[in-house]
Amino acid sequence: MPERNSAAVDFLLTRRSRPAKTLIAPAPDRAVIEVILQAGARTPDHGCLEPWRFIVLQGAALQRVAEQVGTRANALGKPVEQVEKACNSFANAPASIVVVSSPKVSEKVPEIEQTLSAGAVCLSVLNGALASGWGANWITGWMAFDRPLLQSAFNLQANEFVAGFVHLGTETVTPQERKRPVLDTITSWIDE
């Protein structure tokens, strides 16, 4: 039998996000975030195109983004409570890793594969944070796709979008387990 890494398997079978709104300061420091980013960058990537990149938001940058989100939400005519929720998502985040999907021109690797890789990076960043003992949550919302906001707040190129904001911080609650899929309903075993 191959050797079992029980700690890793147990982590994968019990991992659970911590809701962004329950995260408080302190955020992990730069050294810890770099380890989390290393975990994210160690993601399968067909053709080694690196079709993703990171923006780490800390301190005043989070307040600046919150203000830009508010300005854009108001310009879009969003209801007051939605404006507040979107702003607070950044204003109250102890830190956030923005995983940017940044597809490259390739004859060999279709864009969908590059997008899938960016999603995998988000999970790896999330798991890297959780495994490091920090609370973390992968979220998106309209802020991940609104082109004017992506340009003004994050300086993204026209072909880029946000695959995920992974908010990081100190956890305050251990959330109850959520409903998980029943494997039999999503799995076909084919052996002949």
Ligand X SMILES: Cc1cc2nc3c(=O)[nH]c(=O)nc-3n(C[C@H](O)[C@H](O)[C@H](O)COP(=O)(O)O)c2cc1C
Binding site for ligand X (CB under 6 A): 16-17, 137-141, 164, 178
**For residues 16 and 104, which CB has a smaller minimum distance to ligand X in the complex?**
16
**For residues 29 and 133, which CB has a smaller minimum distance to ligand X in the complex?**
133
CB of 31 to ligand X, least distance (A): 24
Q: How far apart are CA 11 and CA 174, in angstroms?
A: 15
**For residues 47 and 141, which CB has a smaller minimum distance to ligand X in the complex?**
141
CB of 74 to ligand X, least distance (A): 20
Q: Please classify residue 21 by burial: count the beta carbons closer than 10 Å to its beta carbon, then call 0-12 exposed, 13-18 middle and 19+ buried.
A: middle
Judge contact between 15 and 127, C-beta under 8 A: yes
Q: How far apart are CA 55 and CA 26, in angstroms?
A: 19
CB of 16 to ligand X, least distance (A): 4
CB of 190 to ligand X, least distance (A): 27
Q: How far apart are CA 27 and CA 30, in angstroms?
A: 9
140 CB contacts (<8 Å, ≥6 apart)?
Answer: 162, 163, 164, 165
Q: Hey, how many other C-beta atoms are within 10 angstroms of the C-beta on 186?
A: 7
Q: Which residue is nearest to ligand X (CB)?
A: 17
**For residues 68 and 89, which CB has a smaller minimum distance to ligand X in the complex?**
89
DSSP state for residue 179 in the 8-state scheme = P
CB of 59 to ligand X, least distance (A): 23
**For residues 20 and 33, which CB has a smaller minimum distance to ligand X in the complex?**
20
